[in-house]
């Protein structure tokens, strides 16, 4: 029994039972000797059988465990050495100490011991040295491996997921994409054509689009005279993106040969498994493209990300007086349904923003509603300061100017907020006002960007207009005539037009002169405009010093910058870009300088050969084809110049394809 106890110490229950049995036998023998003897014999036999059964069970279990341990060891070695999973053990110097046969086969080497991880993969070497990652997909010899790193053990596992990645790519490449194609100004051009010319134009456009769809394996269906539906997949879309949507240039060039200035706008919805959502994304993208002037492609994802292609040409004017009248009447109804009207432009407002604000405030007055202009008096340039001085001296209009804090105090849920000369909340004087009311109207002449005011009640965006002041002037013509424009109000609007057109030399159409004529009839003073726009000697000298720094890039692009970390106002930067553009041999100009808000600003101008809007959008800004700007979070001017050059290269490369 002692031997059995030493072999298997887990026999405590049987030992205790044996002790109890001995005690009971002794007790019974003392009381009843014969019965006790018989009982003792029986219990000894039972205990012997129990001990033997327990010993046999233990020996069988021990044999099974030994066999199982041996099999597990064999399987472990087999798995480590034969399974298609790579295993590498490295040392502190990131050199291979041991690798299983699978990894030797992957690397096609007899041994990997002693080799650096760089020899296997530079990507792998960086992954192991990066403390933040323990799992990563790495490419080794054109195959994909899900790599896991046990840092404490310095052990790497490699799982071949090449087929899985290929299946995922196939799935993503095969996802449906919906596009809507719109022929810009098709109805306007064909309206006065006879049936034969209209039919020829229709056949030409249809032929070009059908040829493009057949070459790229796209299903195309015409739904209207100027609208098509396109169905494709992600892989086809990627090919079109690589070609920068050459169909835009093809339509423009081939129709131009027939003296038909037709362009194509495309809105695309991608990235969603829902056909309904794809259709909505495509329509939203098309609306965005048309808001930016057409002749472009917008690709929108469900997460709101948008990519743009095209937009190389200046948009053709498409707005009509009918649309201006309809918008004016709609705005009149919104004004009359409000208790107050607040008008706000962009940060550091220029003459266009202030002039348009004064014009919209006048609309409120024409409808017998109190109107106010929101302005930050601490952030205005000299020309606006001079305007405000004249306003304060010569009229009671000055009382209608409020700071953002005053506007917030007065604004109610029934108040109407009108945003002018911008459509980006981040660029408004104070975006808290946008959160204060749900009644918001946007009036702007810039091409629409990704950032936009949330759910405005009315949008009047015309990138074909010279200025927001021009748009507001047209709207004023259809408002009630019970309160006529004053001389100062008309002068402020005219100043906005003059500033944005550079005295009627850029982006000036017939409607611009009509608006200017209307303002002159209402008393606009051109001499007062010139006085307000005068500059002092210090500004002239500062601008000249910036011009001295100008360097040429790509032969005809001038890039100039301010001094070190000196802060310049945005108006001076813009004026410097305008002057550079007027010099011989310069087709585009970019001026870079530090701003008061801590960021670095870039003002861009072009004669149309290069689309500065696309360049600025690459850096997070926007604007027009010939007039754009952006603000960057950058440390130095030199860093900004390098980023600007990269953006210019991208746009030029895209335009040349």
The phi-psi region of residue 604 (left if phi > 0; otherwise alpha if psi is between -120 and 50; otherwise beta) is: beta
**pLDDT bucket at 1, cuts 50 / 70 / 90:** very low
pTM over 0.75: no
Residue 103 has pLDDT above 70, yes or no: yes
Question: What angle (nearest 5°) sits at the alpha carbon of residue 132, between those of residues 129 and 133?
Answer: 75
Report the alpha-carbon distance of residue 464 to residue 184 in Å, rounded: 13
Q: How many whole angstroms from its chain centre is CA 498? A: 34
> What's the average model confidence in pLDDT over 335-352?
92
**pLDDT bucket at 19, cuts 50 / 70 / 90:** confident
* Residue pair 77/86 in contact by the 8 Å Cβ criterion: no
Report the alpha-carbon distance of residue 267 to residue 308 in Å, rounded: 10
Report the alpha-carbon distance of residue 477 to residue 519 in Å, rounded: 10
Tens digits of residue pLDDT in 406-464: 999 999 989 999 999 999 898 899 989 998 888 999 999 887 777 888 888 888 888 87
> What's the average model confidence in pLDDT over 570-576?
85
Tens digits of residue pLDDT in 159-182: 999 888 888 888 888 999 999 999
User: Which tokens in the block code for residue 477?
Assistant: 């013509």
H or E element at residue 96: strand 96-99
- Beta carbons within 8 Å of 361's beta carbon, 6+ residues apart: 341, 343, 371, 372, 373, 400
- Beta carbons within 8 Å of 68's beta carbon, 6+ residues apart: none
* Percent of the chain residues topping a pLDDT of 70: 91
* Residue pair 217/209 in contact by the 8 Å Cβ criterion: no
> What's the average model confidence in pLDDT over 83-93?
84
Give the DSSP letter of residue 428. Answer: B
Going by C-alpha positions, the residue among 573, 605, 603, 592 that lies closest to residue 635 is: 592
> What's the average model confidence in pLDDT over 590-601?
90
Tokens 């109804």, residue located: 333
Q: Which of 14-23, 144-153, 544-553 has the highest mean pLDDT?
A: 544-553
How far is the CA of 545 from the CAs of 533, 550, 551, 559, 567, in angstroms?
21, 9, 13, 13, 14
Residue 6 has pLDDT above 70, yes or no: no
Per-residue pLDDT at 313: 60
Q: What are the residue ranges of helices labelled H in 156-305?
A: 162-173, 186-190, 195-215, 234-242, 247-257, 275-291
Residue 120 has pLDDT above 70, yes or no: yes
The upper half-sphere exposure of residue 261, i.e. CA atoms within 13 Å in the direction of its Cβ, equals 9
Tens digits of residue pLDDT in 631-647: 888 889 999 999 999 99
- Beta carbons within 8 Å of 532's beta carbon, 6+ residues apart: 351, 383, 386, 387, 390, 495
Per-residue pLDDT at 3: 41
Tens digits of residue pLDDT in 124-162: 888 887 767 788 888 888 888 999 988 888 888 999 998
Residue 65 has pLDDT above 80, yes or no: no
* Residue pair 581/565 in contact by the 8 Å Cβ criterion: no
Q: Which residues pair with 149 in a beta bridge?
A: 156
φ and ψ of 296, to 5 deg: -145, 170
Residue 5 has pLDDT above 50, yes or no: no
H or E element at residue 62: helix 33-82
Report the alpha-carbon distance of residue 53 to residue 59 in Å, rounded: 10
């Amino acid at each position: 029994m002692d031997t059995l106890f030493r072999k298997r110490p887990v026999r405590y229950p049987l030992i205790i039972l044996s002790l109890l049995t001995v005690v009971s036998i002794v007790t019974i023998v003392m009381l009843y000797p014969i019965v006790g003897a018989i009982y003792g014999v029986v219990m000894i036999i039972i205990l012997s059988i129990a001990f033997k059964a327990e010993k046999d069970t233990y020996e069988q279990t021990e044999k099974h465990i030994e066999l199982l341990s041996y099999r597990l060891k064999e399987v472990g070695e087999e798995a480590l050495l034969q399974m298609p999973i790579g295993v590498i053990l490295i040392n502190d110097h990131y050199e291979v100490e041991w690798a299983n046969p699978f990894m030797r086969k992957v690397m096609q080497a007899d041994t990997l011991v002693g080799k650096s991880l760089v020899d296997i993969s530079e990507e792998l070497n960086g992954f192991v040295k990066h403390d933040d990652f323990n799992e990563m997909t790495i490419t080794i010899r054109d195959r994909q491996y899900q790599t896991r790193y046990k840092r404490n053990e310095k052990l790497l596992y490699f799982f071949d997921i090449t087929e899985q990645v290929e299946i995922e790519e196939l799935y993503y490449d095969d996802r449906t994409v919906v596009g809507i194609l719109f022929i810009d100004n098709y109805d306007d051009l064909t309206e006065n054509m006879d049936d034969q010319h209209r039919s020829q134009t229709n056949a030409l456009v249809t032929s070009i689009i059908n040829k493009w769809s057949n070459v790229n394996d796209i299903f195309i269906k015409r739904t209207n005279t100027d609208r098509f539906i396109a169905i494709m997949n992600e892989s086809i879309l990627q090919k079109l993106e690589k070609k920068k949507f050459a169909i835009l240039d093809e339509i423009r060039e081939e129709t131009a040969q027939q003296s038909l200035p037709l362009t194509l706008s495309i809105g695309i919805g991608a990235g969603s498994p829902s056909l309904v959502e794809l259709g909505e994304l495509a329509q939203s993208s098309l609306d965005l493209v048309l808001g930016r002037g057409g002749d472009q492609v917008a690709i929108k994802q469900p997460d709101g990300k948008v990519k743009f292609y095209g937009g190389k040409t200046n948009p053709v004017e498409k707005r009509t007086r009918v649309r201006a009248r309809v918008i004016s009447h709609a705005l009149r109804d919104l004004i009359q349904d409000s208790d107050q009207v607040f008008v706000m432009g962009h940060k550091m407002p220029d003459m266009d923003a202030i002039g348009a604000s004064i014009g919209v405030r006048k609309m409120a007055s024409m409808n017998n509603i109190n109107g106010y202009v929101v302005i930050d008096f601490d952030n205005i340039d000299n020309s606006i300061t001079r305007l405000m001085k004249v306003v304060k001296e010569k009229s009671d209009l000055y009382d209608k100017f409020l700071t953002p804090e005053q506007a917030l105090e007065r604004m109610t849920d029934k108040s109407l907020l009108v945003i002018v000369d911008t459509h980006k909340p981040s660029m408004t004087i104070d975006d808290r006002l946008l959160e204060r009311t749900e009644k918001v109207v946007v009036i702007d002449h810039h091409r629409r960007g990704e950032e936009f005011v949330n759910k405005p009640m009315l949008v009047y965006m015309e990138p074909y207009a010279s200025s927001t002041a021009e748009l507001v002037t047209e709207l004023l013509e259809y408002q009630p005539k019970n309160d006529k424009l004053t001389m100062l109000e008309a002068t402020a609007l005219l100043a906005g037009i003059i500033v944005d057109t550079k005295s009627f030399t850029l982006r000036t159409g017939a409607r611009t002169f009509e608006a200017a004529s209307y303002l002159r009839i209402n008393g606009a003073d051109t001499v007062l405009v010139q006085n307000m726009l005068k500059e002092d000697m210090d500004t002239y000298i500062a601008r000249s010093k910036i011009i001295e720094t100008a360097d040429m890039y790509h032969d005809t692009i001038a890039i100039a910058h301010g001094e070190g970390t000196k802060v310049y106002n945005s108006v001076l930067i813009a004026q410097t870009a305008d002057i550079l553009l007027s010099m011989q041999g310069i087709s585009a100009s970019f001026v870079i300088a530090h701003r008061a808000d801590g960021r670095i600003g870039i003002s861009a101008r072009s004669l149309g050969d290069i689309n500065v809007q696309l360049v600025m959008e690459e850096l997070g800004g926007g604007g027009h084809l010939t007039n754009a700007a952006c603000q960057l979070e950058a440390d130095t001017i030199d860093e900004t110049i390098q980023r600007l050059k990269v953006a210019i290269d991208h746009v030029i490369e895209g335009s040349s394809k």
